[in-house]
Amino acid sequence: MQPRSSWRLLGAAVAALIALSIATVRAAEPTFAVRIDAPEEVRALLENNLRIVRRVKEGVNQRRFERLTGRAASEIRELLATEGYFSPRVELRIDQGAQQWTARYAVELGEPSRISAVELQFRGTISEARWDNAERRSALEASWPLKVGDRFRQARWDEGKDGLLRALIDERYPLAQVAESEARVDPKARTVRLRVLVDSGPAVTLGPLRVSGLERYPESIVRDLNRIAPGTPFSQKKLSDLQRDLLETTYFTSALVSAELDAARPDSAPIRVSVVETPRRRLRLGAGYSTDVGFKVEAVYAQRAFFGTPWQWTSGLRIAQREQAAFSEVLTPRDARGHRYGVGVLFDREDIQNQTTTSVSALIRRLTPGRERDSELGLAPTYEEKEIGDVTSERLKSLPLYGSWTWRTVDNLIDPRRGWMLNLKTAAALQGLLTDESFINGYAKATGFIPVGERDTFIARAELGRTWASDPRRVPSRYLFRTGGSTTVRGYAFESLGVRLDGAVTGGRVLGLASAEYVHMFNETYGIATFVDAGDAADSVRDMDLKLGYGVGARYKSPIGPLALDVAYGRDIDDYRVHFSVGYSF
């Protein structure tokens, strides 16, 4: 054997012996565990926050385990102090088994420490006898979360201080800060004395608008939306409202509104508005499906700064299996009173329940959009052709004045669980004024949302409509009533409930509908629903015969609103029907 080969064999043998030794040591080392014997109310706090629990789950050696066990007792005391237990008993026992070492902590809480005194002090302008300062101080004291006699909790202590600051910062005192805070603990007496000194700083008023980021659009778009007059007391809500209004105009992809604060110059703090503009032109394409109108595709083109003005021109085309529509409209931006004005034209054709309707309408309208209330007033000259079944054909013209008002008090506009919505509509036309038949139309729809438990929701809905006209066939279809479908009376085909004429279903002069639905969510995304709907449309109240539909469905919460897939039984037709819809119709 050559010397070089001998050295190689010797090296391999030494390496093998070292590896075998390490493996033997590792095999001999036990596993490690932690057990905490503590009352239920604090067990999760300890198990979720103790360092030794986390490290043992990740894997430790004996030396590391012994070091962690020594520190854990003090960590337990610190954690319990945040819940008001300042004198707990903590005993450690380590069971050293052959295969596993277990650190066992026995915890006795003792009596919790309770609040013996609360002293809230104010300095700065809030302490002066001006404006509503006295009422605000009283309200802050009344809303303080830790009362005398309550058990001390660190989270509530922090929450109380944060609440004081938020209440001052949001209105008039944005420079407020906690100057001093103290929780003085007496472990023997098991009491805690709380003291907080809040410095409000000076009262701040808002001043002129300073806008940056504008290149395509005039500054008047921003200024007309600003309802904050110079000298207005600082209000974070008003600044947030202005920011939200700017984003809702569609002229900006982002907007940031803030006040330039300077304690040395609290009067007339400038309002800084920074925006990022949307492109002048935008083309949006879409496709979808609903059981009411079938497959559909649509395209919408929007151009802002139309002909060098801040106006917005929007045109669109929608093609579905049962209806087709095209529109074009020019809209002004919102003015200082919150109004937008528009002029446009609308073409609409639909073939539903053996009635084919083709209409062309001009629109002259004023819109007042808002988060809790919308309104629209306008004039809608209309020419319409109706083909009812294979026999009746009507051509009519009308010049109606119309109005629409919507109120919303809900917790979430896209997927509400609490609150209500109300929509009222009316329209009227007078024969002889470019109108073939005089009519008056009224419509109301109300929807209520009631949360049940953590995730479930009960939804109630009602609709009422009435049109006064001598000959309803001479009234534009949009001012008459049909019902049935995925968002009205489930279990029946889309707009299949109405007045039967010449083998078709046409619009009636009265409408009545009620619905109740219970939605149970398994988690934040998926759920099931059960529902019952009843409604009908007819030519008179005495002709109404409420049709009943009920069933079950699946729910999926998407970013664009809840998706509903329902299977409903129409009792009056003794048949089942599948419905698919997105969001709430309003």
Task: List the pLDDT tens digit at each of the 586 positions of the chain.
Answer: 455 555 565 555 555 555 544 444 444 568 898 898 889 889 889 988 898 888 888 888 888 888 888 888 889 999 999 999 998 999 988 888 878 898 889 998 989 999 999 999 999 999 999 999 999 999 999 999 999 999 999 999 999 999 999 999 999 999 999 999 999 999 889 999 999 999 999 999 999 999 999 998 989 899 989 989 999 999 999 999 999 999 988 899 999 999 999 999 999 999 999 999 999 999 999 888 889 998 999 999 999 888 878 899 999 999 999 999 999 999 999 888 889 999 999 999 999 999 999 999 999 999 999 888 999 999 999 999 999 887 667 899 999 999 999 999 999 888 899 999 999 999 999 999 999 999 999 999 999 999 999 999 999 999 999 999 999 999 999 999 999 999 999 999 999 999 998 889 999 999 999 999 999 999 999 999 999 999 999 999 999 999 999 999 999 988 777 899 999 999 999 999 999 987 555 4
Token pair belonging to 112: 């919790």
Residue 73 lies in a domain: yes
φ and ψ of 160, to 5 deg: -65, -45
571 domain residue, yes or no: yes
Same domain, 426 and 526: yes
In the chain, how many domains are there? 4
Q: Containing domain of residue 233, as a range?
A: 206-277
Residues 503 and 520 in one domain: yes
Angle CA(132)–CA(133)–CA(137) in degrees, nearest 5? 120
- Claim to verify: residue 252 and residue 377 sit in the same structural domain: no
Q: Are residues 147 and 216 in the same domain?
A: no
Alpha-carbon dihedral angle through residues 93, 94, 96, 99, given to the nearest 10 degrees: 120
Please give the angle made by the CA atoms of 498, 500 and 501, to the nearest 5 degrees: 135
**Helices 133-142 & 154-170, crossing angle to 10 degrees?**
160
Longest Cα–Cα distance of the chain, Å, equals: 123
Domain end among 134, 167, 199: 199
Residue 358 domain-assigned?
no
| Dihedral angle over CA of 299, 305, 310, 311, nearest 10 | -40
Domain edge (last residue) among 57, 88, 108: 108
The residue type found at 195 is R
- In 3D, which of 326, 317, 374 has the Cα closest to residue 346? 326
Residue 128 inside a domain? The answer is: yes
Partners of 35 in the β-ladder: 104
- Domain with residue 233: its CATH number is 3.10.20.310
552 vs 567: CA distance, rounded Å: 6
Task: Say if 126 falls within a structural domain.
Answer: yes
Cβ atoms 149, 84 nearer than 8 A = no
Would residue 351 count as lying in a domain? no
- The answer to whether residues 271 and 400 belong to one domain is no
CA distance 474 to 470: 9
Cα–Cα distances in angstroms (integers) from residue 550 to residues 106, 447, 450, 488, 517, in the given order? 57, 18, 20, 12, 10
Beta carbons within 8 Å of 191's beta carbon, 6+ residues apart:
113, 114, 115, 116, 185
Residues 217 and 85 in one domain: no
Domain presence at residue 69: yes
Judgement on whether residues 382 and 516 belong to the same structural domain of the protein:
yes
Two tokens at 204?
A: 């701040």
Which two structure tokens, joined as six digits, stand for 138? 């009283």
pTM (2 d.p.): 0.74
Considering the domain architecture, whether residues 42 and 125 belong to the same structural domain is answered as no
Amino acid letter, residue 452: V
Strands 456-468 and 31-37: unpaired
Q: Are residues 223 and 186 in the same domain?
A: no
Token pair 């099931």 is at which residue? 528
